[in-house]
Amino acid sequence: MTILTVTLNPAIDIAYQLDHLALGSMNRVSKLSKTAGGKGLNVSRVLDELGADVIATGFADRRLGTELIRELEGGGISCRFTRIIGRTRNCIAILHAGMQTEILEKGPTILKEEKEAFLQAFEKSLGDVEAITMSGSLPAGLDPDFYSQLVKLASQRNKPVLVDISGLALEALVNAEIKPTLIKPNIEEFSMLLGLEIGLENVKEALNEPLFDGIDWIVISLGKAGTIARVKGELYRVRIPEIAVINPVGSGDASVAGLAFGMTIGASIEDCLKLANVCGMLNAQEAQTGHINMEHFPELFEQIKVEKI
Ligand code: ATP
C-alpha cells in the first residue's frame, strides 16, 4: 500500500531556542533544530509511522532541497522531487519567553519547464500508488488551479485524492469541474472559504451547501473539539477525550495521514474518522511536529466516539 504525498513548497524548518530575544542586538542560540518541514512532509512522516509506504513529491533545489530529501530518505521515505533552480526556503521559529516568533520565507518561483516536468513525473507516479495527499501553499509561478490540474490527472486514473489547502487554491479546487475525494479544512479555513463565520451552530447547514456537491468527504477539524464531517451525504460528529497537549502544530496534517491510511486499507467511514482524530491527538501529544507515538494509539482509539447526526 503506497501513498503519494505532494508538498509543492517544502522548507527546512529551523527552531532557535533563546532565553530572551534582544531586538537590534546579537542573539546567541542555546538550542536549535533543523528539520524537513512543510505540511505534506508532516503527512509523509505520520503515514510512515502508521506503516504505509510513502513516496514524497514536490519541488526541491540542489541545496536545502537535497538536505531535505536526504533527511526524508534517511527516515525510510522514498522521494521523487522535481529539481528547481529557485531556492528551497528556510522557515524560522524563534522560541523565547514562552512565545514563538516566526519568520517565513515565501519560497522559490517555479519555472514553466519545472512545472511541466513535475506534471509529467506526477502522472507517471500515479501508477505506483493507491492514494494521493496534497497539502500546503502553492509556490509562486503556479496558478491557483494547479491542485485542480493534479486532481484531474489522478481522477483519470481513479485514484483518491485528499487535499488540505486553504485560501484561493481551495476556492479554485472546490469550484473546479473535477472534484477531489476529500478536503480537510479547519473551521477557520472553512469559514474563509464560505466568506461566513462558521461555528458549531451553523456548520451542518454549511456542509450541505451545493458548493460541496461531488466531494465525497468534507472533513472539518475542530482542534480539541474533534471533527465534524459530511461523508457521502451523511453527517458525522466525532468527539474526543481531553488530553495533555504538548504541541498541536501539524495535528491537521497528522489527521490527513490518518484519513489516507484508513481509506487505503479499506477501513469503514467511522474508523477513518477515528484514525484522523487519533493521529491528530497523538501529534498534539508530542513536541515534534509531524510525529506520532504509536504506543498510545490503542487507548486513544477506544475513547473516540463517532455518531451520525
Ligand atoms: P495544523 O494546520 O496545525 O496541521 P489544523 O488546524 O488543520 O492543524 P486541528 O483542527 O487543530 O487541525 O487538529 C486536527 C485534529 O487533531 C483534531 O480534529 C483533533 O483530533 C486533534 N487535535 C488538535 N488539537 C488538539 C487538542 N488541543 N487537543 C486534542 N486533540 C487535538
User: Structural domains in the chain?
Assistant: 2-7+38-79+111-308 (3.40.1190.20)
Report percent pLDDT > 90 for the chain: 94
CA atoms within 13 A on the CB side of 14: 13
User: Which cell is 260 given?
Assistant: 489516507
Query: Ligand 1 center to residue 183 CA distance, Å?
Result: 15
Cα 227 to chain center, whole Å? 16
pLDDT at 52 over 90: yes
User: Please, what is the Cα angle at 39 between 37 and 40, to 5 degrees?
Assistant: 95
> What DSSP element (H or E) covers 59?
strand 53-60
Ligand 1: which of 251, 255, 297 to mutate, most ligand atoms within 8 Å of CB? 251
Count other C-beta atoms under 10 Å from residue 28's C-beta: 8
**pLDDT tens sequence across 110-136:** 999 999 999 999 999 999 999 999 999
Please state the atom number of ligand 1 nearest to the C-alpha of residue 280.
16
**pLDDT tens sequence across 235-253:** 999 999 999 999 899 999 9
Mean pLDDT of the chain: 96
Can you give the pLDDT at residue 98?
84
Residue ranges around ligand 1 (CB below 6 Å): 186, 221-224, 226-227, 240, 243, 245, 248-253, 255, 277, 280-281, 284
**pLDDT tens sequence across 190-211:** 999 999 999 988 999 999 999 9
When pLDDT is averaged across residues 281-300 and rounded to a whole number, the result is 95
pTM for this structure?
0.95
pLDDT at 287 over 90: no
- Report the C-alpha gap between 193 and 292 in whole angstroms: 30
Can you give the pLDDT at residue 97?
87
Ligand 1: which of 221, 285, 300 to mutate, most ligand atoms within 8 Å of CB? 221
Cα 165 to chain center, whole Å? 8
Longest dimension (CA), the chain: 57
Residue with cell 496534497: 134
Can you give the pLDDT at residue 99?
87
ipTM of the complex: 0.98
CA-proximal residue: ligand 1, atom 25 (nearest)? 224
> Where residue 45 falls among pLDDT bands split at 50, 70, 90?
very high
